[in-house]
Amino acid sequence: MIDINLIRENRDLVKENIKKKFQDEKLPLVDEVYEKDIKYREIKVKADDLRAERNKVSDNIGLYVRNKEMDKVEEAKKRVNEINTEISEIEVEEERLAAQIKEIMFTIPNIVAPDVPVGKDDSENVEEKVFGNPKKVDYEIPYHADIMASFNGLDKDAAGRVTGNGFYYLMGDIARLHSAVLAYARDFMIDKGFTYCIPPYMIRSDAVDGVMSFTEKENMMYKIEGEDLYLIGTSEHSMIAKFKDQILKESDLPITMTSYSPCFRKEVGAHGIEEKGVYRIHQFEKQEMIVVCKPEDSEKWYDKMWNFSVELFLSLNIPVRKLVCCTGDLADLKYRSCDIEAWSPRQNKFFEVCSCSNLTDAQARRLGIRYKDENGNKVFAHTLNNTVIAPPRMLIAFLENNYNEDGSVDIPEVLRPYMGGKNKLEPIK
């Protein structure tokens, strides 16, 4: 959510930002919330004036009583009652306008960074740099589900019978590999100075509304029937919401945390759920990182966070590239974002494995996350998030880039302690 002062002082800037995001249908909302804000402030002033008058009249009642001016006492009491009625009516209107303003402000997108490329959708994202040497081989690399099956490691048929499409059983060495990369990613981030956290896997609706846009909520989140609870789509949701309505100490910033959680997503939209493999599914596990920091530090942390992703994937023999997200591909709360994409030697292209975002104070405003600066002022913090590792999707890149012609899969040195010392997985004959 942007600062209402931007609407008051520079509507043109807000409208231009909406146009950059190709959301022209939201342009009328800027003028609408501007007018409602004027009315809201006017009636607030009127209510304050009435309260001041009521206090003055009430003070006079005692004076009239002492002077035995009973006519004036009754007249003053009558006026107090009239004022109370007026204030009650104004407070109802004040509450109604505040709710309308909040709803509109939640819909208006965050201001994007000035250097974000303008584009309509993810097809116009911009490659910035490739890290590592994308592998090209002269032998066939099977589809990832078939590689997993060669180790008796994947059973989607059974999951379909038990749960439905979009779920899976991982078994044997593939299940162990899945757990190993999560454990490695956890320790990798702890070594970077992040505090390890296992958060709640369900959050209330006010927390959901604080961390994401209404569209994202509708397309992603599973609602628990009969409860004000949602299953998290990423642990970023509950980790950021941990600081809801808190006044933090400036000395405690930055707060850096890394978390493990299962994640649940409806995946409503054009992509759909993958029938055979595990690229797009309803349930997966994830290691995440978040930062809560002072505004002047958020861009520095943004660069640190995506670089952590690059370092991590290169340590697993997986080449990656940084793809800068264009304006039309940014969710409404994001100031800037980039995808870290892993190389697929089977498909001879990159695909997304991490998403790093700086949301400036957009989440903090919605959730009420502030800190006291050295002058005692309460300042909205900045929040950032990035995927560390999200298997089983990242296992696609791992298996393909470490796959050998004989069907075996090499285990990189950094991962061997988490795989019982194994340096290679052999397919089951």
pLDDT, one tens digit per residue, over 103-126 is 999 999 999 999 999 999 999 999
In this prediction, residues 365-372 reach a mean pLDDT of 96
Task: Tell whether 103 is covered by a domain.
Answer: yes
Cα gap 120→198, rounded to integer Å = 36
Q: Which domain holds residue 324?
A: 122-425
Cα gap 267→161, rounded to integer Å = 20
Question: What is the total count of domains within the chain?
Answer: 2
Supply the CATH number for residue 369's domain: 3.30.930.10
Supply the pTM of this predicted model.
0.89
Cα gap 353→387, rounded to integer Å = 8
For residue 323, CA distances in Å to 82, 306, 331, 353 come to 63, 11, 15, 11
The per-residue pLDDT of the chain, averaged, comes to 93
CA angle 201, 204, 206 (to 5 degrees): 135
In this prediction, residues 326-346 reach a mean pLDDT of 96
> Same domain for 210 and 99?
no
Q: Which percentage of the chain shows pLDDT scores above 90? A: 82
DSSP secondary structure code for residue 244 in this structure: T
pLDDT for residue 166? 85
pLDDT for residue 307? 98
Task: Tell whether 167 is covered by a domain.
Answer: yes
> Same domain for 161 and 309?
yes
Kindly indicate the confidence band of residue 276, based on its pLDDT and cuts at 50, 70 and 90. confident
In this prediction, residues 403-423 reach a mean pLDDT of 96
> Same domain for 85 and 148?
no
CB 341 within 8 A of CB 335: no
pLDDT, one tens digit per residue, over 131-184 is 999 989 999 999 999 999 999 999 999 998 999 888 999 999 999 999 999 999
- The torsion defined by the Cα of 181, 187, 193 and 197, in degrees rounded to 10, comes to 80
Domain endpoint, select from 47, 75, 107: 107
- Amino acid letter for position 186: R
> Same domain for 130 and 90?
no
Supply the CATH number for residue 43's domain: 1.10.287.40
In this prediction, residues 216-221 reach a mean pLDDT of 82
Q: If we measure between CA atoms, which residue out of 109, 117, 118 comes closest to residue 360?
A: 109
pLDDT, one tens digit per residue, over 294-314 is 999 999 999 999 999 999 999
> Same domain for 32 and 83?
yes
